[in-house]
Amino acid sequence: MIVRRKRTRSQRGEPRRGPGRGRGWAAPLLGWLEEHPRAALASLGRLWRNPGSTLMTALVIAIALALPGALWILLTNTQAASEGWDSGAAISVYLEADLNEQAVAEVEQALAGIDGATLVRTISDDEALAEFREMAGFDAALAELTDNPLPYVVVVEPTATGAGATELGDLADRLAGVTGVDRAQVDLEWVQRLHALLALIERGILLLAALLGAGVLLIVGNTIRLDVLNRRSEIEVIKLIGGTDAFIQRPFLYGGFWYGLAGGIGACGLLILLTALLATPTAELAEAYGSGFRLQGLGAREAAFLLLGGGLLGLIGARLAVGRHLRAIEPA
Amino acid sequence: MIRFDHVSKRYPGQRDALCDVSMHLPAGELAFLTGHSGAGKSTLLKLIALIERVTRGTALIDNVNLATLRRQRIPWLRRQMGIVFQNHQLLYDRSVFDNVALPLVVAGYRSTELGRRVRAALKKVGLLERERAMPITLSGGEQQRVGIARAVVHRPKLLLADEPTGNLDPELSAEIMELFVQFHQVGTTVLVATHDIALLKRFRYPVIALAGGRVAHDDLAGESA
Ligand SMILES: Nc1ncnc2c1ncn2[C@@H]1O[C@H](COP(=O)(O)OP(=O)(O)OP(=O)(O)O)[C@@H](O)[C@H]1O
Ligand SMILES: [Mg+2]
């Protein structure tokens, strides 16, 4: 006779609740909450007890993180230093040739009447020629001239400081429209070139950072891989006792995180040291140019980014290495 | 508790280490597993602990089919049992206390309950005063007792022991065996693999004997229902 019964949990091969049977759901949860700090501290203690190798790994990571960090600081400082340069940009207004002094004065007046334009100075044709004469090599060529072919040049600055490239362009167009003006040229090109260059460098730094970030992944991954292999017998025993993969890999993941975080802290230290060493020479250089520019060191945002990024890279590196190698270790 | 039905185990590139083994160990029993060296005792225990997988046949532990158990579920099954190894398998960079606590840590016990249970287990094996010691400073017999404490600290339903008295003198062997009897008396199912004939004679419990990978003798054969 076949008696059909409802199958019990254990007959279906399902787990009894919790590890201790009937301990309710709260106890395992609290145990789990206790387990994470325990794993974190245990892996930290393990690193602490091997200061030599830990420091070496952290230092390698620190250098890998500090390199793009240093370039980034250099870039932001260059950007900051070049910020005021746009406003210093001037427009050279070339007057038509063969104007007499009277006509020049009229054009100057008309230019001064243009909204937003401030006349800085006027370079007469004679002055311009004299400047050319002073330059070596031109002497002989200029001696041949009977006439002065150079026009008057009026240097105009925008009244408003911090005018952008488009505003400068507009102003130049209006200046060029004045009768007696041949053309107006914005002396801005080199600033624009600088900005384009800085944008390129910024991209380059990001690429370099990505590359070195991948390097950090590999460093941490390899360190953790060796760690796993060194603790092979321990892993086997824990597996025999019923430790899950998650339990076994937890201290290794924390280990990777600590390596990355230590590297981030080291990178911050290196960058602070670097800016401290460069602060005085930079200030001296700026003073020589009559500028109040001061080197901007590591900001709080950059520091947070380095610490978090380091920790995250360490965690990911450990995760990539540990999963594969833990699976391969089985008790026999 | 343990039921084998025509179970065979073949290691890659070798003849069957276990061949057509059928046996049943009811819950709450204590039994000896014996046989000559190479008979397959360790292999049988490894199948139960899922250290090795069954090649043919069905093996059930508490009605869980070992052949179809997914890899992720193995830890769960191992937590239901305690295993005593001949070579102790202790972690030598941790104290006696930490070694015994390991099954509870793995199962996520809280530290208050954990300390209580670990000390209870250490007291049981008479090593309470050595909880701070490192395993390497203990004698072979003491290490074996640490291993036993670790195997029972989480109160498993099933206790497996592979040559637990392997290289101990007869007095110590009897002491260890006495511990297994005590766990048996509180309801734990116990299977002890040994080739110590003197021990079998002294403790008269059912014997399953293997020879060349086959069951040669089974005191429990009649009882299985
Ligand atoms: N991992 C393995 N790979 C291949 N063959 C193995 C493996 N383990 C055991 N064997 C073989 O299986 C057979 C049974 O071995 P097992 O270890 O189960 O014997 P045993 O009864 O425990 O012997 P002993 O009393 O010496 O411990 C032996 O022939 C052994 O060579
Ligand atoms: Mg054996």
Closest CB to A238 among B83, B106, B111: B106
Structure confidence at residue B51 (pLDDT): 93
Highest mean pLDDT among A55-64, A168-177, A276-285: A55-64
Distances (CA, A) of A82 to A64, A199, A247: 28, 13, 54
Residues B106 and B160 in one domain: no
**B11 C-alpha to ligand 1 centroid (Å):** 9
How close A11 comes to chain B (CA, Å)?
5
Contact B159, B165 (CB under 8 A): no
For atom 24 of ligand 1, which residue has the closest CA? B37
Considering the domain architecture, whether residues B98 and B75 belong to the same structural domain is answered as no
Last-in-domain residue among B99, B122, B154: B154
**Interchain CB distance below 8 Å, A247 and B110:** no
> The CATH number of the domain where B212 resides is what?
3.40.50.300
Q: Is the CB of B190 under 6 A from ligand 1?
A: no
The answer to whether the CB of B164 falls within 8 A of the CB of B86 is: yes
Q: Give the highest mean pLDDT range of A147-161, A194-208, A252-266.
A: A252-266
More confident residue, A264 or A92: A264
Q: What is the DSSP letter of B129?
A: G
Which residue in chain A has the smallest CA separation from B45?
Answer: A332
Q: Does B27 touch chain A (CB under 8 A)?
A: no
Say how far apart CA B189 and CA B27 lie, in whole Å: 5
Which of A27, A32, A242 has the CB atom closest to B103's CB atom?
A: A242
> How many angstroms separate the most distant Cα atoms in chain A?
132
The ipTM value here is: 0.91
Is the CB–ligand 1 distance for residue B19 below 6 Å? no
Is residue B86 in a domain? Answer: no
**Rg for chain B (alpha carbons), in Å?**
17
Confidence of residue A252 (pLDDT cuts 50, 70, 90): very high
Domain A91-187: which topology? Alpha-Beta Plaits (3.30.70)
Angle between helices A245-288 and A189-230 (to 10 degrees): 150
CA nearest to A265, candidates A221, A306, A204, A206? A306
Provide the residue type at B119 as one letter: R
B69 at A interface, C-beta within 8 A: yes
Touching check for B102 and chain A: CB below 8 Å? Answer: yes
Q: Interior CA angle at A286 toward A284 and A290, to 5°?
A: 110
B196 and B130 in a common domain: no
Chain A residue set in contact with B, beta carbons under 8 Å: 10-11, 13, 15, 19-20, 27-28, 30-32, 34-35, 38, 234, 236-245, 247, 330-332
Give the number of the ligand closest to the Cα of residue B85: 2
- Residue A130 CA to residue A132 CA, distance in Å, equals 5
Q: What is the DSSP code (8-state) at residue A7?
A: P
In this structure, are B203 and B171 located in the same domain?
yes
Give me the pLDDT at residue A85, please. 62
- Band of the pLDDT at A119, cuts 50, 70, 90? confident
State which of B116, B131, B154 marks the end of a domain.
B154
Same domain? B75 vs B96: no
Looking at beta carbons, which residues of chain B come within 8 Å of A30?
110
Does B162 lie in the same domain as B122? no
Residues B148 and B222 in one domain: no
- Pairwise CB contact (< 8 Å): B108 & A35: yes
Looking at B101, B127, B154, the residue that finishes a domain is B154
Taking the Cβ of residue B108 and every Cβ of chain A, the question of whether any pair is shorter than 8 Å is answered with yes
User: Which ligand has the minimum distance to the alpha carbon of residue B44?
Assistant: 1
Q: Kindly report which listed range (A17-21, A85-89, A108-112, B34-38) carries the lowest average pLDDT score.
A: A17-21
- pLDDT tens-place string over residues A189-248: 677 777 788 889 899 999 999 999 999 999 999 999 999 998 998 999 999 999 999 899
Option in A11, A19, A332 nearest B109 (CB):
A19
Residue B34 and residue B62 share a domain: yes
- The answer to whether residue A157 scores a pLDDT higher than 50 is yes
**Residues B160 and B140 grouped into a single domain:** no
Q: B159 CB under 6 A from ligand 1? A: no
Structure tokens at A94: 């070339």
Do B149 and B57 have their domain in common? Answer: no
pLDDT at A189: 67
Question: pLDDT of A25-40, one tens digit each?
Answer: 666 677 677 778 888 8
Domain with CATH 3.30.70.3040 in chain A: 91-187
Reported as half-sphere exposure (CB side, CA atoms, 13 A), residue A147 has a value of 5
Residue A304: pLDDT band by 50, 70, 90 thresholds? very high
Sorted by sequence, the CB contacts under 8 Å of residue A103 that are 6+ apart come out as A180
Rounded to the nearest integer, the mean pLDDT of chain A is: 83
Expressed as residue numbers, the domain containing B31 is 1-80+156-225
- Give residues whose Cβ lies within 5 Å of ion ligand 2: B 42
Which pLDDT belongs to residue A16? 42
Q: Would you place residue A22 in the very low, low, confident or very high pLDDT band (cuts 50, 70, 90)?
A: very low
Judgement on whether residues B72 and B160 belong to the same structural domain of the protein: yes
- Give the sheet arrangement for strand B2-10, strand by strand: B16-25, B2-10, B56-61, B64-65
Structure tokens at A153: 């040049």
Phi then psi for B167, rounded to 5 degrees?
A: -120, 45
Residue A11 has a pLDDT of 43
Q: Is the CB of B39 under 6 A from ligand 1?
A: yes
B25 and B64 housed in the same domain: yes
Q: How many domains does chain B have?
A: 2
pLDDT recorded at residue B66: 92
Q: Is the pLDDT of residue A13 over 50?
A: no
Confidence of residue A287 (pLDDT cuts 50, 70, 90): confident
pLDDT at residue A45 greater than cutoff 60: yes
225 residues of chain B, pLDDT tens digit each: 999 999 999 999 888 999 999 999 999 999 999 999 999 999 999 999 999 999 999 999 999 999 889 988 999 999 999 999 988 899 998 999 999 999 999 888 888 889 999 999 999 999 999 999 999 999 988 999 999 999 999 999 999 999 998 778 888 899 899 999 999 999 999 999 998 898 999 999 999 999 999 999 999 887 544
Beta pairing, strands B207-211 & B30-35: parallel
For residue A88, the model assigns a pLDDT of 61
User: Do the Cβ atoms of A242 and B76 come within 8 Å?
Assistant: yes
pLDDT of residue A84: 60
Q: Which residues of B touch A28 (CB under 8 A)?
A: 108
